[in-house]
Amino acid sequence: MKLIRFALFAFFVCAVSAVMAQNTVSAENVNVTINGTTTREALAELRVSLEQVGIRFWYEPSFDGNRNLLGIHYQLTDIATGAVIGAHEMHNFNNPVVKTTFRVGKTAGAWTAECVGNCND
């Protein structure tokens, strides 16, 4: 029984690491991907991480009865200037290839968007 619990725990840790590995938040660059495997907790952690580097991440997610992300509407705002960096809305996350991505960088002290929404990787 302990072996099964350990195996499940190890699987969970690897799965969470794989999901979080998609996202990079630093003082100069942000690269984030949101898809159907993104959890409520990951969105809340992302909001906190972005606020720590000066970006307000307002989001309105929709989930199914099993807490799977179905869609999201979000807006990114530079906290220092109040300027909207970008906004996007995406649905149909139950399709595994559907995702939304945003990449922003800091230039001359202000956050600017490289892409918000459908970024070609």
pLDDT tens across 74-107, in order? 999 999 999 999 999 999 999 999 999 999 999 9
Handedness of CA 70, 86, 26, 33 (dihedral sign): positive
Instruction: Specify the pTM.
Output: 0.80
Distance from CA of residue 39 to its chain's centroid? 9
Task: List Cβ neighbours of 19 (8 Å cut-off, separation of 6 or more).
Answer: 37, 38, 39, 42
Q: What whole-number distance in Å separates Cα of residue 53 and Cα of residue 47?
A: 10
* Res 13 pLDDT > 50: no
